Homo-oligomer: A and B are copies of this chain.
């Protein structure tokens, strides 16, 4: 995280985060990001059937390709709240449009917290005046703090570089600290950039970048009701146009992936109760989808996760999880190594140094490499361990 040394800012973006009393004590719970001029926008939404009200509204608004503000509250998800919840979200949006004096359709909404409870609309609308008044160039961290729930630290990443003959900035913030797919708590990620880019290119590049980063910690079919990633590009940098099939678009995409990758690693590191950062790499698969299934089967196995937590070199659980993944595999060709120690090949335990394997399980970062020997497709997943602390955090979240 680059937040400790100096305040983060992106040309043309103001932000703020305040407490309106949704969460306990004086914790910030409403955040705002505002682009001083209308920005190009692209977004990725959860595929959950019970999308929260703000996402339903955003999905409509985003179609026109322009947005200027994102308001987020924590402490209440406004999900499974039906028509009333939808109206509640609109009430927030109307009030914000009035205060910001922008078109209401340029406002995007986000909520995170407990599902099935009504949004405390009055608390939020009552605070919007103060929220808008306090908007400032260095307010990004405050906006981030306001959307945190069980997160232990803010997640902000920034890259600056020359793209299309101009200095551009890409800054992302994220919230989310649940165990990852299929058990993640809500994940929200916002990216602000001053790059000049058209809607078509922005949309393509953002989907590609999310697929290469957050989708590897699984912002996909197993998301919560409120997961969402949004990018706003206000064009202030005045760079040469970024269009498809251009080297400079590739450069922009690389910077964007860097930002998102840093954020999603931070999300895994902050995994509720996590003590380990684990990478599961699957290589040699017949298809990417096979590699993905295998990687997730291992990453989501509670028995594998608890072994990492316990620093227990019980590698057989990884083999069992792989074997239960449902992909077709030739077990004689499968190899497994943990922390560089080859533990299994040719359908038998390898002749490994037990102490080295124990040491590998003791590290904070553990790399699991699975070779399937059946093709050239691969996939990797970042995951965390499953600790007693995770259970404690989630056993009394709402009460």
**Chain A residues within CB distance 8 Å of chain B:** 47-51, 77, 79-85, 114-118, 178-179, 182-183, 185, 221-225, 297, 300-303, 306-307, 309-310, 312-317, 319-326, 328-329, 331, 343-344, 346-349, 386-388, 390-392, 394-399
Contacts and interface: CB of A to CB of B under 8 A. Distances in A.
Nearest to A222: B324
B48 A116 contact: no
A56 B77 CA distance: 50
Contact of A80 (B114, B178, B349): B349
A11 B321 CA distance: 40
Contacts of A300: 182
Given A116-B344, A183-B302, A344-B116, A320 B395 contact: no
B392 A349 contact: no
A214 B349 CA distance: 31
Name the residue in A51, A221, A386, A395 with the highest tally of chain B Cβ atoms < 10 Å from its Cβ.
A395
The majority secondary structure among interface residues of chain A is loop
Nearest to A358: B399
A278 to B, nearest CB: 14
Contacts of A317: 115
A52 to B, nearest CB: 10
A349 B119 CA distance: 13
B388 A316 contact: no
10 contacts: A48-B323, A79-B319, A81-B348, A178-B303, A223-B324, A306-B390, A306-B394, A306-B395, A310-B395, A388-B395
B223 A343 contact: no
Contact of A307 (B49, B301, B395): B395
Nearest to A391: B388
Contacts of A313: 398-399
Contacts of A48: 320, 323-324
Given A114-B314, A224-B320, A303 B394 contact: yes
Given A49-B329, A316-B80, A395-B309, A182 B324 contact: yes
Given A83-B347, A179-B302, A224 B324 contact: yes
A238 to B, nearest CB: 42
